[in-house]
Structures are given as C-alpha cells and as structure tokens.
Amino acid sequence: MNEWIEQQLSEVAARGESRQLTAWPTLGPYLQRADQRILNLAGNDYLGLTAHPAVREAAARAARDIGTGATASRLLAGTATLHEQLEAELADWKGHPSALLFSSGYLAALGILPLLAGRDDLIVADRLCHASLLDAARLSGATLVRFHHNDIADAHKRLAKRPHHPRCLIVTESLFSMDGDTAPLPELLALAQSHNATLLVDEAHALGVAGPRGAGLTADQPEAEENLVTLGTLGKSLAAAGGFITGPAKLRTLMINRARTFIFDTALPPPTLAAARAALNEIRAHPEWPRALAEKAARLRARLSSAALDTTPSQSHIIPVRIGDNHRATAIASRLSEQNTLVAAIRPPTVPPGTARLRLSLSLAHSDTDLDAAAAAIQRAAQNIP
C-alpha cells in the first residue's frame, strides 16, 4: 500500500496540488504565530462573530447547563429544545415555511438531494457548484448534467431534454464560493416553475451578508414555496458548525423520515446550537453589517483591480485573484505568509485546471488599514514571482 500512496502523492506534487495542515492556537479573522499577529484572509468568519462575547457566553452557558454532547441521534434521544428553537428561528429569518438541522452543510447536501431526485430523475447543476452538491447528485443515482456557469439559456436547453424524467432538480449556489459572483436566481426560479422542477440553492456564503435581514438571496420567496429548497450553514457567518435545509413543511417531515444523513447521525451538541442562536440574534440586531462588509470588499477589490490584478466577476466579500499556474499561486501565497498575511491558494480539483487563484475572504473584523496593506503585498508578490 505504501508504494501506491507514494505514487499518488508524487503525482499530486508534480501538478502543484499538494496540501498540508497548519495548526493555530487561536482561530478567526486574525491568527497568532509566536508573537506575530496574522491577517487571515483564508477563513469564513465573515462577520467576526466567533470571538463575539455573547456568542462565546451562549456556548459556555449551554455546556454548563445542558452538556457538551447531544448523546444520540435526533430520532432517538438527541433532540434538545435548542434544536427546535434554532430551526424555528432560521425558518423565520429566511422567511421560509420550515427548517431542519444537519451536522454539517455537506451532510445536508447528501441528505436532501437523493430525496429530491432519484434513479429515474434529472439533476441540472451549475458547473461551479460546490463538491458536496455534485457528490450528493451522484449519490442520488439521478442523471446529472451540468450547465455553463450562470448560463440560463444553457440550463434551459438541458432541461428541454427531460421528457422521460418524472422529476427534475436544478442546483446552484446563490453566492459562489470560489468566484464571489452571484447566480441569476429570479431567472432560475422562473425556469424551475415553467418546467415543474425544484430549485435547490446553496446559500452557505450569502447567509449573514446578503439579502433581506442578511438572510441570503433566497429570503422571502412566498411565490416559490413549492419550487424552492435552500441549503444553509452555521459554520460561516453564524460562527458555529452544522448545516440546515429550508423548504415546505412537508419536505421537513419527509427528511425526518427519509434523509439518511439526518436519521443515522448524532445530533448537533448544545453549545454549537446556542452559539448559532446568539450569532443569529446579533445579525438580526445589526442590519447595517452586510453593507459595511460590502464596502470593505469594494475598497479592496478596487485596490487590486487598479494594480491590474484579475479579480474575475466577484461582487462580494469573496475576492479571487486569478493566477493561472498552480505553482505560481502557491509561491505567491507562501510569500504573503512570510509577511503575516494568510491567503488560500486555490487549485484543482477545487477549481478548473488553469484557473488557480488566491481566494481572499473578508471579515467585518478586518481593519481597512490591514486590507490596504494586504493589497499592496499581493501586488508586490504577483509582480516579483514569475
């Protein structure tokens, strides 16, 4: 086995796709290394709430008063009052009929897609959908076809070939995690309705930072109640861990009875639930936060664009700087790390070959001074590393 593993690792290294773990004593928008403070542009703590006193205290209080683990799956003895409280609050926040929690966004995807489409059905997915959505689509057994990114005409063309499929599911992200652009959701929803299809939208990177109340780009869609299902995460703006699905109340009942990653998985623990509830309360109490984060992103994007760096079609707090070559992207990221700026060098298979990039992920906790310095450092590194 070792020989086979070595061969695989050598091939990964030759492609410039090697990865390794780095352990940090603290986590969040700023990291610590010895006596150095590191600007973290590789995380997803978009509102800086993991360090918020109310969020930390809520988690600690739940651990003290209830315990550190859920002790069982939801259908056995693992459903706490906190689960149902958070689900009701998430559904209300989104303006959707119901919500159901899963232990991660990945598990939520793996649980919901096989319910919405099966062996005889069709899934039409945006080419840039997250790996969890594509894995779930393959697990469903449905016929999977992928349309060109955000191309409504191409999606329509692929849907038009579905006569023999009883059910059809369209899959997209609302805010794409690697490009920072947004999906044409009104057009996709209209397409779903005209084809009697369901639209599944992954809102992971839009929650807390976009849409009404910061509730994402699918919030408040009563006319779409029968055609719209959304996937969300607690692990980014909501400063905790876990995933959830929103949609019709009957779909929630079906998931409780049929979603394998719900039925056979230990429930989320009380401290995690309490932290997410506290974070959600803070988000709802500060409707100005999404605009403030958008302004930070616009400032940084303008600095990068003025230096002739390719920030692709991003219009959000996720700003990719396209490099192209895998080895050059990792070299630039390494140079920036030496200057106390952590950025992610994103390479295949996460993104298509030839599109390696630096992915800058902003937090409301980042200071404008630090972001300006990061822009200058990125410009220098990109110029000095061929």
Q: How do the domains of the chain map onto residue ranges? A: 22-51+288-384, 53-285
Closest by alpha carbon to 183, among 145, 230, 220? 230
pLDDT score, position 212: 95
Note the pLDDT tens digit of each residue in 61-94: 999 999 999 999 999 999 999 999 999 999 999 9
Rounded to the nearest 10 degrees, the angle between the axes of helix 152-159 and helix 185-194 is 20
Q: How confident is the model at residue 20 (pLDDT cuts 50, 70, 90)?
A: confident
Q: Return the bridge partners of 277, or none.
A: none
Query: Which percentage of the chain shows pLDDT scores above 70?
Result: 100
* C-alpha pair distances (Å), 265 with each of 76, 82, 106, 108: 10, 17, 13, 11
22-51+288-384: CATH topology? Aspartate Aminotransferase, domain 1 (3.90.1150)
Report the distance separating Cα 191 and Cα 205, nearest Å: 23
pLDDT band at 22 (very low <50, low <70, confident <90, very high): confident
List, for residues 145-199, the tens digit of each pLDDT value: 999 999 999 999 999 887 788 999 999 999 999 999 999 999 999 999 999 999 9
- Residues in Cβ contact with 288 at an 8 Å cutoff, skipping those fewer than 6 apart: none
Tokens 């859920």 sit at which residue? 70
pLDDT in tens, 85-129: 999 999 999 999 999 999 999 999 999 999 999 999 999 999 999
pLDDT for residue 332 is more than 90? yes
Q: From its phi and psi, is residue 236 left (phi > 0), alpha (psi between -120 and 50) or beta?
A: alpha
**What is the reported pLDDT for 68?**
97
Residues 44-71 have a mean pLDDT of 97
Burial group, residue 145, by CB count within 10 angstroms (0-12, 13-18, 19+): middle
Residue 288 has pLDDT above 90, yes or no: yes
pLDDT at 124: 97
Cα–Cα nearest to 293, from 237, 232, 349? 237
Residue 378, Cβ neighbours under 10 Å: how many?
26
Q: Do domains 22-51+288-384 and 53-285 have the same CATH topology?
A: no
pLDDT digits (tens, 9 = 90+) for 207-258: 999 999 999 999 998 777 789 999 999 999 999 999 999 999 999 999 999 9
Q: Which residues are catalytic?
A: 44, 130, 173, 177, 202, 205, 236
pLDDT at 1 over 90: no
Q: Give the whole-angstrom CA distance, residue 243 versus residue 55.
A: 18
Secondary structure of residue 295 in the 3-state scheme: helix
Q: In terms of CATH architecture, what is 53-285?
A: 3-Layer(aba) Sandwich (3.40)
The pLDDT confidence band at residue 281, using thresholds 50, 70 and 90, is: very high
